[in-house]
Amino acid sequence: MRGEFEGRVAFITGAAHGQGRVTALALAGEGARIAAFDIARSLSYPGYDMGSTADLESLAAACRELGSECITFPGDVRDDAAVTGAVDVTTERFGRIDILFNNAGICAYGLAHELTEDAWDAMLDINLKGAWLVARRVIPVMIRQRSGVIINNSSVAGLRGMGRLSHYAASKWGLTGLTKSWAIELAPYGIRVNSIHPTGVNTPMNDGLAALEGLTAKEIAERSAGNLLPVPWIEAEDVANAVLYLASDRARYVTGAPLVIDAGLLSR
């Protein structure tokens, strides 16, 4: 039985664990071939554990078990040479890129006036500049195909302000702006561009961010008490489902749109 994405190729950043990994597996389960890009090592900032090369290797194995092919790339989205090389290998191997999920990102707390310049630069360079660096290498591939879908993983913080997260919110608002601008630029080529805006997601990053505060993820969720629905967070599968919808032909006329998956948080 053919999957919904049979014959399509997805390039996913931040793919080793969390939302990127679950989305990669969901797409692979529907027949897509996967190019998985991840820094696969820890960074001094924000300081919690990132994905690893072992995570990338196990992702490739899991995709094979689903009957899909997955090639992996340890690399930093801030490194244009690494990004360019990964895109080139992907197109040489698979011949095309149909879906780009710009998912790589970090988060950390800090009052605006107390942030260091290094912390500000890391947040904006990974979350925002990194998405642009990847997209500017993938977009020409999609233009040649005259088709493609780009999905930027923003946040509820890309639609509202959030205390102690000004640098994070700035990066996510930037992704929202990129989404709408790229949608205008790329529509003539049949390329759709959308953003997704989750509330807190149950991932290793969620746990790592809480640990930096000396709290559990549940305590962080209880402190913020933002969701209308009685859940502390959503699951990575909820994000994957949103990506699959936006990448599918069911959303063929959806572009330039923010898809909110917030358990009602923005309605407060």
**Identified catalytic residue from 109, 168, 189, 245:** 168
Q: How confident is the model at residue 75 (pLDDT cuts 50, 70, 90)?
A: very high
pLDDT, tens only, 107-123:
999 999 999 999 999 99
pLDDT, tens only, 198-254:
999 999 999 999 998 999 998 888 887 689 999 999 999 999 999 999 999 999 999
Q: How confident is the model at residue 2 (pLDDT cuts 50, 70, 90)?
A: confident
> What is the chain's mean pLDDT, rounded?
97
Interatomic CA distance for residues 36 and 242, integer angstroms? 19
- Which residues lie below 8 Å from residue 196, measured CB to CB, with a gap of 6+? 151, 152, 153, 154, 239, 242, 243, 246, 258, 259, 260, 261
- Which residues lie below 8 Å from residue 124, measured CB to CB, with a gap of 6+? 167, 170, 171, 174
Using the structure block, give the residue that is written with the tokens 């992704």. Answer: 175
Closest CA to 15 of 86, 104, 79: 104
Interatomic CA distance for residues 233 and 230, integer angstroms? 9
Residue 54 tokens read as 């072992």
Helix (H, G, I), strand (E, B) or coil at 248: coil
Interatomic CA distance for residues 90 and 99, integer angstroms? 12
What count of other Cβ atoms lies within 10 Å of the Cβ of residue 200? 25
> Tell me, what's the pLDDT at 225?
66
**109 included as an active-site residue:** no
Question: What residue ranges define each of the domains in the chain, with the CATH number in brackets?
Answer: 9-200+234-261 (3.40.50.720)
Interatomic CA distance for residues 242 and 174, integer angstroms? 20
Helix (H, G, I), strand (E, B) or coil at 102: strand
Interatomic CA distance for residues 70 and 107, integer angstroms? 27
Interatomic CA distance for residues 18 and 105, integer angstroms? 11
> Would you say 34 and 68 are in contact if contact means Cβ atoms under 8 Å apart?
yes
Q: For residue 10, which amino acid is it?
A: A
Helix (H, G, I), strand (E, B) or coil at 37: strand
Q: What is the pTM assigned to this prediction?
A: 0.98
